[in-house]
Structure 1
Amino acid sequence: MPKSYFQFKQFIIYQDKCAMKVCTDACILGAYAEVAEVNKILDIGTGTGLLSLMLAQRSKATIDAVEIDNDAHTQAKVNITESPFADSIRLYHQSIQDFSQQRSGSEDKGYDLIISNPPFYQNSLQSPDHQTNKALHAATLTFDELLDAVMSLLSPDGQFIVLLPPFEAQQLATVAQKKGLYLCAKLLIRHNPQKSVFRHILSFSKMPVSAYTEDILVIHEKNTSGYSDKFRLLLSDYYTIF
């Protein structure tokens, strides 16, 4: 049974009310996203607020976090309010479709970074648990809708970063290119060197690129449960065990 909370170095994530618990791949996404020149961030489907808090810890950006689920929104509100970064994050209880529509036509130049760990099962057998369905299955947010929101809200030179399983990552990349979002970087994640890639982190921009860069992150060393040096370095600002 997952713990009711997850202790990071500078904040706590309570997760007893959320279908989606803190997981390693989401933590990798939060630590991987580049925030050095970023002033405005949008977190689509914030869940517990994990990504927003990770980005707030190492940036001075203002962050808008959007969450449609009632319980997840309540949980995120507690996690954000009780953190040292509450002043940096604004939480919205609505769908990203409504959020995007309300901001269409705005003179705002858009977000420098949009980040998402979205529901990714597009057409698959659903869980009997409704909350889990909403978190994992794209019944309330298709890739088309997600990318339309990103196109509307991303600044001309901004970046969209998303975490998905390999098959769904390819699906989204295909749809993204048709909409004018270009893949510029891909991070492949493996549990260990013997395992297949189980997650992709894709970075997109509105600016066409001749070729995207590709890197691999292995979480555990070969034939051991010990963490790789690359993983330790990436998560050293967050995990209390490092």
Structure 2
Amino acid sequence: MFRFKQFTIRQDRTAMKVCTDACVLGAWADVGRGGRLLDIGTGTGLLALMAAQRNPEARIEAVEADEAAAGQAAGNVRESPFADRVRVVPARIQDVTTEPFDRILSNPPFYTGHLRSPDAAVNRALHNDELPFEELISSIVRLLKRDGECWVMLPPSELQRFSRLAEAAGLRPYRTLALRHHARKPVFRMIAGLRYDAPAVPDRRELCLYEPDGKTYTAGFRSLLQPFYLIF
């Protein structure tokens, strides 16, 4: 169980647990004001609930293909203050048909050809066999308004591949955030906001989670997560 300031995430029935980089995605992505928001592959419901806290007028749909995870996400939503605005949809995103959204968030699976776990749920959460980038982008294009934004988080090399495919569909990064554990470590995750009218050169930023000692959170991380983490 992971307790935040305004909601609690239970995660005993989900393969993907709460992780720091996902919390950064939920805190840093532009979730707009009002409108409709979609969380693709919601897992525990973390991103949907963070978005609901940040955007008090948004109507949010959280789609999850894994039955057990969808059930747990629905329970987390019911126990939160945002139950009237967040709906968990147990379905593959490829099968979802609805009106387009103003914002789309996704922390998608990205492993291809790596060693498999004996746990099928873990494989679905980590490997993109059931949601390859081509199908994810096709779903995003189908479900995103022309003036909307999509936010994803991936390792740097995978974001490059995702961005090439997205650009073929007209979506380009307009803002990125590179995550490092600390200043002497390499970038391990990239967060990108994509839209149809993105400038040729995106706004590039960087965030270190820790000071060089590897233990003390940086001021930037503390400021970003202060609305959510009980320790700040």
TM-score of the aligned structures, taking structure 2 as reference length? 0.97
Indicate the residue corresponding to 2:200 in structure 1. 210
| Distance in 2 (alpha carbons) for counterparts of 1:33 and 1:68 | 23
Indicate the residue corresponding to 1:32 in structure 2. 28
| Distance in 1 (alpha carbons) for counterparts of 2:199 and 2:22 | 26
Indicate the residue corresponding to 2:144 in structure 1. 154
| Distance in 1 (alpha carbons) for counterparts of 2:88 and 2:157 | 31
Residue pair 2:181, 2:214 contacting (<8 A) in 1 also: no
> What is the identity percentage for the equivalent residue pairs of Structure 1 and Structure 2?
47
Indicate the residue corresponding to 2:228 in structure 1. 238
Which deviations, in whole Å up to 9, do the C-alpha atoms of 1:141-178 show, x marking residues without a partner?
01000000110111111100001111111110111111
Residue pair 2:74, 2:87 contacting (<8 A) in 1 also: no
Indicate the residue corresponding to 1:85 in structure 2. 82
Residue pair 2:4, 2:229 contacting (<8 A) in 1 also: yes
Alignment-mate amino acid for residue 225 of structure 2 = L
Structure 2 residue 2 is matched with structure 1 residue 6: yes
| Distance in 1 (alpha carbons) for counterparts of 2:206 and 2:85 | 31
Alignment-mate amino acid for residue 37 of structure 2 = I
Query: Which stretches in structure 1 are left out of the alignment for 5+ residues?
Result: none
What SS class does the counterpart of residue 86 from structure 1 fall into? coil
Indicate the residue corresponding to 1:137 in structure 2. 127
Indicate the residue corresponding to 1:64 in structure 2. 61
Residue pair 1:22, 1:50 contacting (<8 A) in 2 also: yes
What SS class does the counterpart of residue 115 from structure 1 fall into? strand
| Distance in 2 (alpha carbons) for counterparts of 1:16 and 1:223 | 32
**What's the offset of the Cα at 1:224?**
4.1
Alignment-mate amino acid for residue 74 of structure 1 = G
Indicate the residue corresponding to 1:16 in structure 2. 12
Q: Which runs of 4+ in 1 moved over 2 A?
A: 35-38, 122-125
**What's the offset of the Cα at 1:35?**
2.6
Report the CA distance shift for 1:198/1:85 in structure 2 as closer, same or farther (over 3 A). same
Query: Which stretches in structure 2 are left out of the alignment for 5+ residues?
Result: none
| Distance in 1 (alpha carbons) for counterparts of 2:51 and 2:78 | 15
Cα RMSD after superposing both structures: 1.0
**What's the offset of the Cα at 1:38?**
4.3
Indicate the residue corresponding to 2:171 in structure 1. 181
Alignment-mate amino acid for residue 112 of structure 2 = Q
TM-score of the aligned structures, taking structure 1 as reference length? 0.93
What SS class does the counterpart of residue 224 from structure 2 fall into? helix
Aligned residues: 231
